[in-house]
Amino acid sequence: MALSALLVVQLKYFIYLAAPFLCLAMAAPLDAAWGRIEAVARDPGRRIGLAVVAIGALGLVGYEPYTHYRAMNLMHWKTKETLDLLEWVRDNTPPVDPEQPEYAVLNTWESGFWISAVAERPNYANNFVAAPPESVYIQHLTRAYDWLIARDANPLYDAMDRHRLDYLVALPIDAKAIYGYLSLTGREHDEFVRYDEAHETWTTTEGLNDTVLARLLLVQGREIANLPCVDGLQLLKTTERTMPLAGQQVPVAQFYRRVQGALITGRASPGETVRVGTGRVALNTGPHAHFAFSFECTTKAKSDGTFSLRFPYASVQVGDVAPASPILLWRGERGPNNPPVTLNISDEDVTAGKSIALP
């Protein structure tokens, strides 16, 4: 299925690009066959008309791929703020050996070239996808979407560790692009995107909001509804510029690092809810701008009264990430008669996954 989809895409764009030139190439032979080539040569009006028809054909067949290109490449990557973010990545992440890179950045293909060119870091997926399905380019493209367009973050963590993907760039994806990528992987798309026949456009569904990528973009991986927090990624930087997504304004791009998360263990009443969270984490996004968000993870104590959960943020400032409020742990419901425990979590605890045992 991936091969047929790829061939259809390649054939479509070959037709798009070749059609105007075929029209021009065939115009003279056809006119000669009709015996009117001399008339065309002598009549400036007909020559102008032929040129208008050719230009019109070029514009007509070029319209769809141009708009598709804009949707797929997400032109907001060409703003100063996003370039500033990638320059920050270049200046604030460890340099790599260009011959044998120690790590790479996980991304979807829209940002691959920008990561390599501006951030000067290896990317995982880019536009070199005009290749057989078994090629490394197609595999990287489809795997990246398999990991991000999913509810469970654990396959993403495993893949990042296995492929030495120490960082992740998250940016919004066009609904039509999501359909294309899911088609390449052979996955059903109805759960995440649908075609609106009335408006002749692709739109996202509520199911997409439950995916790892959407939760990173919308709530920075915070726990929502019945989905656990994304406890293996830590937000390091965002663009100052925002864009509308799912009814709210979100940063155009967000940059995360892979962390193991501090392992917090202790005891509570069997079945009791245990929460760890901070009311405010602040990031410097510009000379006079900040982006702040809350973060919380929960679990329930086991039948023997033990609990464990991971938390991806430290109690101290690390780079541009600064906790603006303490990290607190509650056993049971919050309230004046149930004071929380203040946690002291170091950056080493977070990156190495060290255990913090509570009495």
Q: Please tell me the distance from the alpha carbon of residue 56 to that of residue 357, in angstroms, as a whole number.
A: 71
DSSP state of 77: G
- Using alpha carbons, list the distances in angstroms from residue 236 to 153, 253, 258, 270, 298: 18, 11, 10, 36, 22
pLDDT of residue 71: 33
pLDDT number for residue 132: 43
- Nearest to 128, CA basis, from 137, 136, 120: 137
Query: Which position has the token pair 């039948």?
Result: 303
Assess contact for 146 and 160: CB atoms under 8 A.
no
The CA distance from 223 to 300, in Å, is: 14
CA 64 to centroid of chain Cα atoms: 24
Please give the C-alpha separations between residue 191 and each of 227, 246, 333, 336, in angstroms, as whole numbers: 17, 16, 35, 43
Q: What is the pLDDT of residue 260?
A: 97
Q: What is the pLDDT of residue 346?
A: 95
Q: What sections of the chain are H helices per DSSP?
A: 2-33, 37-42, 44-73, 80-92, 112-114, 136-148, 154-162, 175-185, 212-219, 347-352
Matching CATH number, 76-258, of 3.90.1150.10, 3.30.420.280, 2.30.40.10, 3.40.50.12610: 3.40.50.12610
Residue of 272, 281, 278, 292 lying closest to 343 (CA atoms): 278
* CA–CA dist 87, 108 (Å, integer): 19
Burial class (CB in 10 A: 0-12, 13-18, 19+), 222: middle
Whole-angstrom Cα Rg for the chain = 26
The whole-model pTM stands at 0.75
Contact yes or no for 296/263 (Cβ under 8 A): no
Q: DSSP character for 338?
A: B
Q: Are 262 and 352 in contact (CB under 8 A)?
A: no
Q: Give the separation between CA 235 and CA 169, rounded to whole angstroms.
A: 10
What whole-number distance in Å separates Cα of residue 50 and Cα of residue 21?
Answer: 13
HSE of 210, CA atoms in CB hemisphere, 13 A: 12
What per-residue confidence (pLDDT) applies to 96? 93
> What pLDDT shows up at residue 319?
79
Domain boundaries, the chain: 2-69, 76-258, 259-359
pLDDT at site 219: 92
**What three-state secondary structure class fits 50?**
helix
Q: Tokens 């973060």 map to which residue?
A: 295
Taking the chain (359 residues) in consecutive chunks of 10 residues, what is each chunk's mean pLDDT? 40 52 58 52 56 50 35 51 89 92 87 86 71 54 83 94 94 80 77 84 85 92 91 93 83 93 97 93 72 93 97 89 89 90 95 95
Distance between CA atoms of residues 11 and 103, nearest Å: 36
Beta strands 242-245 and 321-323: pairing type?
unpaired
Q: For residue 184, how many C-alpha atoms fall within 13 Å in the half-sphere facing its CB? A: 26
Give 170's strand partners. 254
Cα–Cα nearest to 230, from 302, 336, 165, 147: 147
Does 259-359 carry CATH code 2.60.40.3390? yes
